[in-house]
Amino acid sequence: MYYLALSKNNCGKLVGSTFFFFSPRQLRRCWRSIFAVVMLNNRDFLFLVAVSLSKEALEAYVVSANDVVHFKLVMTTDDIEDDDIAFQPEMSHQIFGEGESIFGYRDLQVKLYYGSCSLTPYLGMSYTEKIDLKKSDGLKADDVLKTVLEKLPSGVHTNIDEFVSILPKETAFRPFGELLHSFKIGRGGLSRTFELYSASVTTPGFLDYHARMQSFILWFIDAASYIDSDDEKWEYFVLHEKKVVDGVTCYPFAGYATVYRYYAYPTHIRPRISQMLVLPPFQKMGLGTELLQGIYNFYRDRSDVLDITVEDPSEVFTRLRDFVDARNCLKLASFSKENLHNGFSEDMWKEAQEKLKINKKQARRVYEILRLRATNTANASQYKAYRLEVKNRLNAPYQKQKNRH
């Protein structure tokens, strides 16, 4: 990690007490202006840089990438001018570094538009002023377009007129793969139709589409990385809205998930959900629940599937998974209210694994959720029994370790 301390001279007089965080990419651009380096610890360094601008003047050229990057899913030319459909990233450190900052511009706007169906991308930017190299002693403005383009697939438009010219083709797009499920969601008195598709590496034309889909994840999923889409063990689940625009049916992209088929001894597979994303314009509609349930439905009747797991789930995904699993387990006989009060049993996790492909650890977690739901917290004995059940589970690993010694 690097910190840039700005100085008006090379005597170490700092401009104020505020330090700027700069990425290695930004530091390289002002390397000749560095006159001292202080090692703060094993990984943090303080660079003293002589510049002629004041701290306040330089701060005007530093912006949060999360605030200035704007996404749009575009169907028509009117959408380009419609700021109401714009949405911003949840993070940008995987693009612009840990500080999530962009240096060198005033009133910067980074425009990342996608054809709403085909996901054909456009990248552009605007600003009112760019930092003057003569006044900044070599502190160059970030090359924003180059930095973002490095993370995007091929075929990005950087000319807005060229991008506009391909928009009429959006209505000709058709989803890739096999239709798994069609459903309606009511919101604000309106009913919207969505469809879930499955695709694989062998689906004609899909890999190029996937490259455009996954370009979203670096902005919305922490610790994300692009997958090796040539691996045939990857399976893809894609959500599209089905809507009519000017009398023509079209299929805007709403979200997707990737699943990897791991081997499970001796003759089974263990599908692992790797990435799952519903874009902001489609969030808080229940689409995440539908997407996860659709994945479950795809695998749960297959005899070769042992159970379904999740790779490093976020807190948000964990809540979603708990909700869907609890809702499904409520339909199992072993999870009846009477059985819940008798404690976690072998019948519970075996039925959950056999019918829902839920592993033992997750089955236990769901049991505790449903046990609390079935507990009258105003009943002291019932509530105490529940607390002791959870306490015993938490203490079990320590008790085993104690017994070994």
Amino acid at 275: Q
Reference 26, options 150, 144, 112; nearest CA is 144
Reference 229, options 174, 176, 161; nearest CA is 176
177 labelled binding-site residue: no
What token pair was written down for 180? 């798994």
285 labelled binding-site residue: yes
> For 229, phi and psi rounded to 5 degrees?
-70, -10
Q: Which residue among the candidates 56, 129, 178, 311 is catalytic per the annotation?
A: 311
287 labelled binding-site residue: yes
Reference 96, options 144, 141, 128, 135; nearest CA is 144
362 vs 352: CA distance, rounded Å: 9
Q: Which residue has the tokens 């840990």?
A: 98
Reference 10, options 111, 158, 132, 137; nearest CA is 137
282 vs 182: CA distance, rounded Å: 16
DSSP of 214-252: GGGHHHHSTT-----TT-TTEEEEEEEEEEEETTEEE--
DSSP secondary structure letter of residue 142: P
User: Around Cβ 57, how many Cβ atoms within 10 Å?
Assistant: 15
Using DSSP, state whether 313 is helix, strand or coil: coil
213 labelled binding-site residue: no
Judge whether 311 counts as a catalytic residue: yes
Amino acid at 126: S
Reference 272, options 281, 264, 283; nearest CA is 264
For residue 126, count CB atoms less than 10 angstroms from its CB and return exposed for 0-12, middle for 13-18, buried for 19 or more. exposed
286 labelled binding-site residue: yes
276 labelled binding-site residue: no
User: Around Cβ 119, how many Cβ atoms within 10 Å?
Assistant: 21
Binding residues for acetyl-CoA: 283-289
Cite the active site residues. 311
